[in-house]
Amino acid sequence: MLNIVLHEPEIPANTGNIGRTCVATNTRLHLIEPLGFRLDEKNLKRAGMDYWGSLDVTTYIDYADFLERNPGAKIYMATTKAPKVYTEVSYEPDCYIMFGKESAGIPEEILVQHQEDCVRIPMVGDIRSLNLSNSVSIVLYEALRQNGFAGMNLEGHLHRLHWGDSGKLL
């Protein structure tokens, strides 16, 4: 099972959307405090819809607590400061993909400890970053693709449409 880690997220709607994506992909969500919101906040629940109750979520008091409770975890760091693109690494089925807070990203003192595992999403021009929930989706789905979308529904089915004698759609 893959793991998404949010380091000090600030915007409840982003975290709610990420939580919904985690439920849809059977991915664990890890939240490193301080959070810019309360977990019972209405905006968080609204963005996560009725999926929040099904979310496998763990909170940590700080980054040291996260490391202590997840010893030996393979952690990829999503950052605009990375030298390689997120598609250039092979994501293990149980790896952790960390994203920083919306206003500042992952602190550099953490990034320098994981330089080889830093990945970026390509962008043009002077754009500082993408929306956090969009960034999580982009990288998470690449990791899922690399792992064969294990346990996920890979095809949908259209309902057959029938035309009546009058030429109207039934």
Query: Is 148 labelled as part of a ligand binding site?
Result: no
Query: Is 167 labelled as part of a ligand binding site?
Result: no
Query: Is 97 labelled as part of a ligand binding site?
Result: no
Residue 146's alpha-carbon distances to 42, 67, 85, 87, 103, in angstroms, are: 35, 25, 15, 9, 30
Q: How far apart are the first and last CA of the chain?
A: 43
56, 28 contact by CB (below 8 A): yes
33, 62 contact by CB (below 8 A): yes
Residues placed in the known binding site: 100, 121, 129
Residues placed in the known binding site for S-adenosyl-L-methionine: 100, 121, 129
